Structures are given as C-alpha cells and as structure tokens.
C-alpha cells in the first residue's frame, strides 16, 4: 500500500509541475505557445458560433418556441452566444496570428 501512495505522490507532483510550467509559458507575452493557443482558441470559438447559429435556425429547441417568452429567450441567448463567440474568436485568432508573425520576424 505504501508503494501505491508513493507512486500517487510522485504522479501528483509531476502533473502539478507540468501545469505550473504550462501556465508560466502561457502567461509570457512573447511565447510561441501562447500565440498558438490563442489561434486554436479562436478556431474553437468560431466552431461554437457555428453551432449556436445552427441551433437558432434548427427545428430542435431545448425550450420549445410555443412556450411564451421562454422559447424566444432561449433562441436569443443562443444567438447572442453565437455573436459573442464569433467576435471573440476573430479577436483571439488575429492576436495569435499577429504574435506568430512577430515571433517569426524576430527569428530571422
């Protein structure tokens, strides 16, 4: 039983150290990892916006539209989420691309 807890302790410390290093690399403004993560995050938000707009125009609803106010509020919330995701995704992708271009220029 002691060997299991020893293994568990080493595993937890290793995973914690990994996440601490990852957070430090993501917080550095000139980090290539940060630029790449920002770009991927932008694509993820675009995908979320696509799903939200698909939800708004689809026949399938979490709250049916014939229920007064609740059905319409459901669609408005999904639409706003889609718009905000698209805007945030655009900003995030542009920042990631800009950072990657700046880092590539400095490497040359």
pLDDT at position 108, please?
58
- Of the candidates 50, 38, 45, 47, the one whose C-alpha atom is nearest the C-alpha of residue 92 is 38
> Cα-atom radius of gyration of the chain, to the nearest Å?
21
pLDDT at position 58, please?
83
pLDDT at position 66, please?
80
pLDDT digits (tens, 9 = 90+) for 4-59: 999 999 999 999 999 999 888 888 888 888 888 888 989 999 999 999 999 888 87
Residues near 102 by Cβ (< 8 Å), separated by ≥ 6?
30
Give one DSSP letter per residue of 35-54, joined into a string.
Answer: HHHHHHHHHHHHHHHHHHHH
CA distance 89 to 11: 35
pLDDT digits (tens, 9 = 90+) for 59-104: 787 788 788 888 888 888 889 999 999 999 999 888 888 888 888 8
């Amino acid at each position: 039983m002691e060997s299991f807890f020893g293994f568990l302790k080493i595993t937890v410390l290793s995973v914690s150290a990994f996440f601490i290093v990852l957070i430090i690399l993501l917080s550095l403004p000139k980090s290539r990892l940060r630029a790449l993560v920002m770009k991927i995050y932008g694509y993820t938000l675009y995908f979320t916006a696509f799903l939200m707009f698909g939800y708004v125009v689809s026949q399938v609803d979490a709250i049916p539209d014939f229920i007064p106010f609740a059905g319409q509020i459901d669609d408005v919330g999904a639409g706003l989420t889609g718009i905000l995701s698209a805007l945030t995704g655009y900003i995030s992708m542009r920042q990631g691309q800009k950072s990657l271009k700046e880092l590539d220029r400095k490497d040359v």
